[in-house]
C-alpha cells in the first residue's frame, strides 16, 4: 500500500524532497559560514598564546619584530653605520693586513665618528688612508699631541679628517670628523705582523672585537706620604687613567641585531708546499691556486665582529722547516728576521725535575657563558696530567679570591680529588681583580727548594684595563717562577697574554673553543714537562747588529726563537747558542742565503719599541729614556705607538660654517659566548629603546674597489628564509564541493532506484 501511495503521489513528493535537500544545503552552508565568522572574533586568544613560545625560540635575531613597538624614526636615524673589510696577505714569514672601515652616515646631521677596535699585539701600524668621494688622503705620522691638535683644528675648520691612535698595543681608536649627511667615508689602515709558529703549525689571528674590560676603581683616599717626614706626598693614581678611551657601548645581543659586519680575505703564500689549512671559528671557502698558495674567504659572506678569526696552516711535509732566514734592504741598512726551532730532546734522555704548579683560574663575570666551561675543562685536564711527585695548588679569583690549600700540596689522589670538586663548583661572576691573584700565585713559600721547577698556569680572558699594574707585579715578584698564560674565549686580550708570558718567561696558549681544550692543553703540557732551551745568545761574525729582543727569551718545546736584527752589512753568519736542559746546543746560519722578505724593518722597529716598553716596566730604563727611544723609532719607521698617531686631513673644507657636529661612538658586539648579564648586571626590566643599527658591508663598494687592487669579494646569497605562503583554503573548498556533489549523486541514485516501483 505504501509503495502504491508513493508511486501515486511521486511528482509532488519528489519536488518537496528536492526542496528539502536544497534547504538543507542552504542551512548547512549558512551555519558553516556563521561558525567561521564567530571563530574569527572569539576563538583566537587561546590559539595565539599556544603559538607564543615558538616566537621566543626565534630570539635574538627575531628581536626586531618585538622592538618595533619602541622603535622611533629618530632612534633609527641616530645610528651611524660601519662595515669592515679585512684583507690579509701572507708572504712567507710576514702578514700584511689592510683593514678598511666604511663609515656611513644615514642621518641628517654632520657627524664625528669614533670606533675602538683591536689589532694583533705585535702588529706594526704604518699606513692610514682616508677616501672621500674619489679623493684619497694619505695620513702622516706625528707625535700624539701634535696629531690630536691637527685633527681638532681640521674638525673646527669643517674639513674631513681621520686620526688613528693607540690606546694599548692591541687597542686602537679611529676618529673621523665631519661625515656629512648621507655620506660614506672610508678609512683604511695597514699593518705588518710576523706569522706565529708552534711546532708544525703556522698561524695568524685577526682580533675583531674589544671585550668589555674590568677597570679597578681608583682608591683616592690613600695617600703616600714621603718617608722623610716632610709632609709631602701624592695620592695614589687611578689604575686605569684612560678608562673612557677603551670603553665603548656594548650592545645586548638579546635585544639587538649584531652590528659591524666584517669581511675577511686571506691571500696565503706560505713559501712551502701546504698541507692542511684550517679556520677555527669561521666557515671559510679555500681556493687552491698552486701547492704553496691559497685564497681563503668567508663562506657565508660578512660576519658580525664578535669573535677572533684564526687561520692555521701546516706544511705538506712531515716536519716543518726548523730554520727560516729572511732579509730586507731599507735605506742604508739591512734587516734580518730569523726563525730557529731548536731540536726537541726526548724525555727519556733527560732526568725530569718534579714541578710545583700553581693553577690560577679567572671566574669573573666576563668569563661567563662558554669561557668558564673552557677554563674549567682545561684546568681539570691539567689536574689529571700531574705526576705523584709534583706539588700543586689552585687559586680562583673574581673581585674576591680563594686559595684551595694553605701551601702547595703533593699531587696524590686525595688532593687531586679535592681540587677537582673545588674546580667543578666554580661559577662565573663579579669583577676581575687580577693583580692580587697574580701576587698570591707568585708568592713562593719554599724558594730554597731547588728540586722543584716552579710554574704558574694562569687561565683568563685578560679582560682588564690595568694591564700595566699586572706587568709590574710580574716583573717585581716573578723570582724563580715561570708564568704560562692560557687565554680563554672568543676574544681574549692577546697583548696582556703575550706580554705577561714574556715578563714571566713562559708561553701563551690560546683556547678559543671547548674542542680546542685537549689539543692545546697537550701542547702546553709538552712545554711544561720538557726542558726549555735556556741561556740563548746570538753572535754575528762580521756584521754589527742591533738585535731584538735584546735579552733572548727561553724557548719551550716546539716553539721557534724569533730574532730581528738591523745590520750594517749583509755578510758572514750568525751563530745561535743555548742549552737544552744540561746539554749545549748551537746552530750557524750563513746570512748570504737569506731570502727576500717584506716589511721586516717595520717588524724590527715594532719589536724594539716593545723592548723599550718592557724596559720601562721593569725599570731598566727611565721612563724619559724609554719614551725617547720609542719616539725616535716610531718617527723613523712611521709607526703608530703610545706616543705617535697617524693623522689625515682633507684640504677642502666640507662642513659649512654654523652647522653643528655630533659625536657618535660606534657600539660594539658582546664577544661571542659571553653572558651579558654576568658582565653588566641584570638587564633593566624595560629594555632601552633598541634601535636598528645593522651596518652595511656593501657600502661604498665602488670607492673600496678603487682603493684595493683586488676586487671586493662578492657577497654570497643572504640567509633570508621565506615563510610558507599558501593556505589550504582552495584545497578544502574543492574537496568540500566534490563531497557535496558525491552526496547529491548518491541521493539522486537512491531516488532512481526506488522510483520505478
Partner 1 sequence: MRRFILPLAFALIGLILFGQGAYIHAKALVAQVLLERAFTQSIATGQLVKPWSWADTWPVARIEVKRLHASAIVLAGSSGQALAFGPGHVEQTVDAGQPGVAVYSAHRDTHFRFLKDVTIGDEIDVTRSDGKMFRYRADRSAVVRFDQSGIDPITDKYELVLSTCWPFDALTSGPERYLLHATLIESGS
Nearer to partner 1, 36 or 331 (CB): 36
- The end-to-end CA distance of the chain, in Å, is 12
To 10 degrees, what angle do helices 600-617 and 467-477 make? Answer: 70
Check: CB of residue 434 under 8 Å from CB of residue 213.
no
Nearer to partner 1, 622 or 750 (CB): 750
Query: x/- string (CB under 8 A) for partner 1, residues 645-684?
Result: ----------------------------------------
Distances (CA, A) of 300 to 43, 98, 209, 441, 653: 43, 21, 19, 44, 40
Cell of 149: 691638535
Considering only residues 232-271, where is the footprint of partner 1 by CB under 8 A?
257, 261
SS (H, E, C) 321-332: CCEEEEEEEECC
Provide the minimum distance between the beta carbon of 745 and partner 1 in the complex, in angstroms, as a whole number. Answer: 8
Nearer to partner 1, 258 or 315 (CB): 258
Cell of 484: 704560562
Provide the minimum distance between the beta carbon of 31 and partner 1 in the complex, in angstroms, as a whole number. Answer: 8
Distances (CA, A) of 7 to 17, 748, 751: 14, 16, 12
Provide the minimum distance between the beta carbon of 243 and partner 1 in the complex, in angstroms, as a whole number. Answer: 34
Provide the minimum distance between the beta carbon of 679 and partner 1 in the complex, in angstroms, as a whole number. Answer: 26
Q: Which of 58, 138, 316, 705 binds partner 1 (CB under 8 A)?
A: 58
Provide the minimum distance between the beta carbon of 29 and partner 1 in the complex, in angstroms, as a whole number. Answer: 6
Considering only residues 697-726, where is the footprint of partner 1 by CB under 8 A?
697-701, 715, 717-726
Q: Which of 236, 289, 742, 755 binds partner 1 (CB under 8 A)?
A: 742
Provide the minimum distance between the beta carbon of 58 and partner 1 in the complex, in angstroms, as a whole number. Answer: 8
Q: Which of 23, 220, 289, 747 binds partner 1 (CB under 8 A)?
A: 747
Helix ranges (DSSP H) in 696-728 = 701-707
Provide the minimum distance between the beta carbon of 660 and partner 1 in the complex, in angstroms, as a whole number. Answer: 24
Task: Give the separation between CA 146 and CA 254, rounded to whole angstroms.
Answer: 42
Task: Calculate the CA dihedral of residues 286, 291, 292, 293 and round it to 10 degrees.
Answer: -30
Task: Give the separation between CA 351 and CA 451, rounded to whole angstroms.
Answer: 12
Considering only residues 505-524, where is the footprint of partner 1 by CB under 8 A?
none
Q: Nearest CA to 192 among 339, 337, 83, 290?
A: 337
Q: Nearest CA to 506 among 535, 537, 527?
A: 527
Nearer to partner 1, 55 or 236 (CB): 55
Task: Give the separation between CA 597 and CA 338, rounded to whole angstroms.
Answer: 11
Nearer to partner 1, 28 or 636 (CB): 28
Provide the minimum distance between the beta carbon of 729 and partner 1 in the complex, in angstroms, as a whole number. Answer: 4
Query: x/- string (CB under 8 A) for partner 1, residues 452-481?
Result: ------------------------------
Considering only residues 202-231, where is the footprint of partner 1 by CB under 8 A?
none
Task: Give the separation between CA 391 and CA 376, rounded to whole angstroms.
Answer: 20
Task: Give the separation between CA 126 and CA 500, rounded to whole angstroms.
Answer: 25
Provide the minimum distance between the beta carbon of 130 and partner 1 in the complex, in angstroms, as a whole number. Answer: 20
Considering only residues 390-409, where is the footprint of partner 1 by CB under 8 A?
none
Provide the minimum distance between the beta carbon of 54 and partner 1 in the complex, in angstroms, as a whole number. Answer: 8
**# chain residues binding partner 1, by CB under 8 A:** 73
Please enumerate, as own/partner, the contacts of 700-704 that have beta carbons within 8 Å and a separation of 24 or more: 700/83, 700/102, 700/104, 700/131, 700/184, 700/186, 703/131, 703/133, 703/134, 703/184, 703/186, 704/85, 704/100, 704/102, 704/131, 704/186
Distances (CA, A) of 434 to 168, 185, 462, 469: 18, 40, 9, 9
Nearer to partner 1, 81 or 205 (CB): 81
Nearer to partner 1, 225 or 737 (CB): 737
Nearer to partner 1, 298 or 503 (CB): 298
Q: Which residues pair with 586 in a beta bridge?
A: 577
CA 467 to chain CA mean position, Å: 18
Task: Give the separation between CA 497 and CA 377, rounded to whole angstroms.
Answer: 19
Q: Nearest CA to 325 among 548, 539, 573?
A: 573
Nearer to partner 1, 259 or 626 (CB): 259
Helices (H) and strands (E) in the chain, counts: 18, 36
Considering only residues 318-337, where is the footprint of partner 1 by CB under 8 A?
none
Nearer to partner 1, 49 or 221 (CB): 49
Cell of 483: 708564568
Nearer to partner 1, 258 or 487 (CB): 258
Nearer to partner 1, 24 or 680 (CB): 24
Task: Give the separation between CA 272 and CA 93, rounded to whole angstroms.
Answer: 11
Choices 355-363, 398-406, 524-532, 739-747; region in contact with partner 1 by CB under 8 A? 739-747
Q: What angle do CA 342, 509, 101 make, to 5 degrees?
A: 110
Residue 55 as a binder of partner 1 (CB under 8 A): the answer is: yes
Residue 35 as a binder of partner 1 (CB under 8 A): the answer is: yes
Residue 44 as a binder of partner 1 (CB under 8 A): the answer is: yes
Choices 42-50, 129-137, 573-581, 596-604; region in contact with partner 1 by CB under 8 A? 42-50
Considering only residues 532-591, where is the footprint of partner 1 by CB under 8 A?
none
Nearer to partner 1, 7 or 58 (CB): 58
Considering only residues 285-304, where is the footprint of partner 1 by CB under 8 A?
302
Nearer to partner 1, 37 or 680 (CB): 37
3-state secondary structure of 153: helix
Residue labelled with grid coordinates 669573573: 364
Q: Which of 9, 16, 43, 65 binds partner 1 (CB under 8 A)?
A: 65
Nearer to partner 1, 69 or 450 (CB): 69
Nearer to partner 1, 4 or 41 (CB): 41
Nearer to partner 1, 18 or 217 (CB): 18
Q: Nearest CA to 156 among 178, 140, 133, 187?
A: 178
Cell of 285: 671557502
Q: Which of 1, 4, 12, 36 binds partner 1 (CB under 8 A)?
A: 36
Q: Which of 19, 22, 23, 68 binds partner 1 (CB under 8 A)?
A: 68
Choices 88-96, 346-354, 497-505, 729-737; region in contact with partner 1 by CB under 8 A? 729-737
Check: CB of residue 213 under 8 Å from CB of residue 433.
no
Provide the minimum distance between the beta carbon of 739 and partner 1 in the complex, in angstroms, as a whole number. Answer: 3
Nearer to partner 1, 421 or 719 (CB): 719
Q: Which of 280, 480, 694, 708 binds partner 1 (CB under 8 A)?
A: 694
Task: Give the separation between CA 326 and CA 315, rounded to whole angstroms.
Answer: 18
Provide the minimum distance between the beta carbon of 103 and partner 1 in the complex, in angstroms, as a whole number. Answer: 13
Considering only residues 5-34, where is the footprint of partner 1 by CB under 8 A?
24-25, 28-29, 31-33
* Rg of the chain (C-alpha set): 35
Provide the minimum distance between the beta carbon of 64 and partner 1 in the complex, in angstroms, as a whole number. Answer: 6
Q: Give backbone dihedrals phi and psi of 160, rounded to 5 degrees, phi first.
A: -75, 135
Q: Which of 92, 106, 169, 365 binds partner 1 (CB under 8 A)?
A: 106
> Residue 537: how many CB atoms within 10 A of its CB?
12
Task: Give the separation between CA 301 and CA 307, rounded to whole angstroms.
Answer: 15
> Cβ-count burial of 56 within 10 angstroms (0-12 exposed, 13-18 middle, 19+ buried)?
exposed
Amino acid at each position: 500500500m505504501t509503495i502504491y501511495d508513493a508511486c501515486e503521489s511521486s511528482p509532488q513528493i519528489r519536488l518537496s524532497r528536492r526542496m528539502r535537500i536544497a534547504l538543507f544545503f542552504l542551512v548547512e552552508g549558512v551555519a558553516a559560514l556563521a561558525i567561521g565568522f564567530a571563530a574569527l572574533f572569539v576563538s583566537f586568544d587561546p590559539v595565539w598564546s599556544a603559538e607564543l613560545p615558538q616566537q621566543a625560540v626565534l630570539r635574538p635575531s627575531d628581536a626586531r619584530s618585538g622592538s618595533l613597538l619602541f622603535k622611533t624614526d629618530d632612534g633609527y636615524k641616530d645610528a651611524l653605520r660601519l662595515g669592515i673589510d679585512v684583507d690579509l696577505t701572507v708572504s712567507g714569514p710576514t702578514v700584511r693586513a689592510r683593514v678598511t672601515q666604511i663609515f656611513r652616515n644615514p642621518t641628517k646631521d654632520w657627524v664625528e665618528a669614533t670606533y675602538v677596535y683591536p689589532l694583533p699585539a705585535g702588529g706594526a701600524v704604518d699606513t692610514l688612508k682616508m677616501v672621500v668621494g674619489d679623493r684619497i688622503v694619505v695620513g702622516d705620522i706625528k707625535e700624539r699631541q701634535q696629531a690630536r691638535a691637527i685633527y681638532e683644528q681640521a674638525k673646527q675648520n669643517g674639513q674631513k679628517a681621520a686620526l688613528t691612535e693607540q690606546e694599548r698595543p692591541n687597542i686602537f681608536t679611529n676618529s673621523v670628523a665631519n661625515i656629512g649627511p648621507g655620506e660614506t667615508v672610508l678609512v683604511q689602515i695597514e699593518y705588518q705582523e710576523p706569522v706565529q709558529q708552534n711546532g708544525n703549525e703556522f698561524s695568524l689571528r685577526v682580533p675583531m672585537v674589544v671585550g668589555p674590560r674590568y677597570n679597578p676603581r681608583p682608591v683616592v683616599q690613600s695617600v703616600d706620604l714621603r718617608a722623610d717626614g716632610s709632609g709631602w706626598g701624592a695620592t695614589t693614581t687611578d689604575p686605569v687613567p684612560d678608562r673612557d678611551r677603551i670603553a665603548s657601548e656594548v650592545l645586548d645581543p638579546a635585544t639587538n641585531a649584531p652590528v659591524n659586519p666584517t669581511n675577511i680575505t686571506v691571500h696565503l703564500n706560505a713559501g712551502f708546499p701546504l698541507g692542511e689549512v684550517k679556520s677555527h671559528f669561521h666557515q671559510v671557502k679555500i681556493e687552491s691556486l698552486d701547492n704553496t698558495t691559497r685564497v681563503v674567504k668567508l663562506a657565508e659572506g660578512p660576519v658580525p665582529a664578535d669573535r677572533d678569526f684564526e687561520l692555521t696552516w701546516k706544511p705538506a711535509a712531515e716536519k716543518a722547516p726548523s730554520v727560516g732566514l729572511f732579509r730586507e734592504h731599507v735605506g742604508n741598512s739591512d734587516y734580518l728576521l730569523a726563525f730557529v726551532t731548536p731540536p726537541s730532546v726526548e724525555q727519556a734522555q733527560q732526568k725530569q725535575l718534579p714541578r710545583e704548579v700553581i693553577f690560577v683560574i679567572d671566574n669573573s663575570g666576563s668569563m661567563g657563558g662558554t669561557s668558564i666551561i673552557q677554563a674549567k675543562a682545561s684546568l681539570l685536564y691539567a689536574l689529571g696530567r700531574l705526576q705523584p711527585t709534583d706539588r700543586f695548588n689552585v687559586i680562583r679569583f673574581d673581585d674576591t679570591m680563594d686559595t684551595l690549600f694553605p701551601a702547595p700540596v703533593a699531587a696524590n689522589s686525595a688532593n687531586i680529588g679535592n681540587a677537582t670538586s673545588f674546580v667543578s663548583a666554580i661559577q662565573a661572576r663579579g669583577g676581575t681583580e687580577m693583580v692580587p691573584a697574580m701576587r698570591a700565585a707568585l708568592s713562593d713559600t719554599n724558594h730554597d727548594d731547588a728540586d722543584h721547577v716552579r710554574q704558574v698556569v694562569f687561565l683568563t680572558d685578560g679582560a682588564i684595563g690595568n694591564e700595566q699594574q699586572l706587568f709590574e707585579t710580574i716583573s717585581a715578584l716573578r723570582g724563580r717562577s715561570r708564568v704560562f698564560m692560557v687565554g680563554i674565549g672568543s676574544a681574549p686580550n692577546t697583548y696582556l697574554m703575550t706580554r705577561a708570558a714574556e715578563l714571566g718567561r713562559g708561553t701563551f696558549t690560546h683556547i678559543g673553543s671547548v674542542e680546542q681544550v685537549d689539543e692545546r692543553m697537550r701542547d702546553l703540557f709538552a712545554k711544561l714537562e720538557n726542558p726549555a732551551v735556556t741561556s740563548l745568545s746570538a753572535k754575528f761574525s762580521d756584521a754589527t747588529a742591533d738585535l731584538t729582543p735584546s735579552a733572548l727569551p727561553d724557548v719551550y718545546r716546539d716553539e721557534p726563537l724569533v730574532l730581528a736584527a738591523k745590520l750594517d752589512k749583509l755578510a758572514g753568519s750568525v751563530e745561535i747558542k743555548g742549552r737544552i736542559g744540561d746539554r749545549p746546543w748551537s746552530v750557524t746560519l750563513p746570512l748570504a742565503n737569506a731570502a727576500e722578505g717584506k716589511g721586516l724593518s717595520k717588524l724590527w722597529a715594532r719589536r724594539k719599541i716593545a723592548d723599550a716598553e718592557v724596559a720601562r716596566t721593569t725599570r731598566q730604563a727611565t721612563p724619559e729614556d724609554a719614551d725617547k727611544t720609542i719616539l725616535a723609532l716610531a718617527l723613523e719607521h712611521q709607526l703608530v705607538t703610545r706616543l705617535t698617531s697617524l693623522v689625515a686631513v682633507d684640504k677642502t673644507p666640507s662642513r659649512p660654517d654654523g652647522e653643528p657636529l655630533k659625536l657618535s661612538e660606534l657600539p660594539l658586539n658582546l664577544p661571542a659566548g659571553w653572558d651579558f648579564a654576568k658582565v653588566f648586571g641584570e638587564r633593566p626590566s624595560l629594555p632601552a629603546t633598541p634601535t636598528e643599527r645593522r651596518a652595511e658591508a656593501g657600502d661604498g663598494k665602488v670607492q673600496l674597489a678603487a682603493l684595493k687592487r683586488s676586487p671586493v669579494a662578492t657577497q654570497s646569497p643572504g640567509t633570508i628564509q621565506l615563510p610558507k605562503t599558501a593556505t589550504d583554503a582552495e584545497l578544502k573548498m574543492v574537496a568540500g564541493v566534490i563531497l557535496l556533489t558525491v552526496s547529491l549523486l548518491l541521493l539522486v541514485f537512491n531516488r532512481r532506484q526506488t522510483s520505478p516501483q
